[in-house]
């Protein structure tokens, strides 16, 4: 590793290294050591974050507040390779049901998705840069694990 570089070992290090300012309460509601960041490569590449929350209701309230401030401008650059317009960054998230999962989604005026998030269960929050990535995370999450 280069001098002054350090490994990202928890969610706090992750968002700090990317200069993302999450709401303070949101940061405390996320299990700092149990997160995954990745990129799903398919026809449309997209990043994703899997986070474990300690309190679903409080986390959801913090997410709604973050939407109104800087969530789109903070997360779209790491989740979606497309650059949104300034107008898209100011667009409100909307509710949408995807595969029977209540989802918050940010689209531009043409209907193109730039970001979405949902709780897969009471503990797991997924944030994705596009619909194909979200659907693949959902498919893998719901795939039964083999019995050993």
**137/50 Cα distance (integer angstroms):** 9
pTM over the 0.85 mark: yes
Residue-wise pLDDT for 71-120, tens only, equals 999 999 999 999 888 888 889 999 999 999 999 999 998 999 999 999 99
Residue-wise pLDDT for 30-54, tens only, equals 888 888 899 999 888 999 999 999 9
């Amino acid at each position: 590793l280069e001098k002054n570089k350090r490994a990202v070992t928890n969610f706090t290090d992750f968002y700090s290294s990317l200069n993302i300012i999450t709401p303070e309460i949101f940061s405390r509601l996320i299990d700092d050591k149990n997160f995954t960041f990745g990129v799903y490569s398919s026809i449309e590449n997209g990043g994703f974050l899997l986070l474990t929350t300690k309190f679903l209701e409080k986390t959801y309230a913090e997410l709604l507040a973050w939407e109104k401030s800087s969530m789109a401008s903070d997360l779209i650059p790491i989740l979606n390779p497309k650059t949104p317009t300034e107008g898209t960054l100011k667009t409100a998230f909307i509710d949408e049901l995807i595969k029977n999962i209540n989802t918050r989604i940010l689209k531009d005026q043409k209907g193109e998705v730039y970001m979405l998030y949902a709780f897969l269960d009471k503990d797991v929050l997924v944030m994705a840069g596009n619909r194909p990535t979200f659907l693949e995370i959902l498919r893998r999450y719901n795939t039964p694990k083999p019995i050993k």
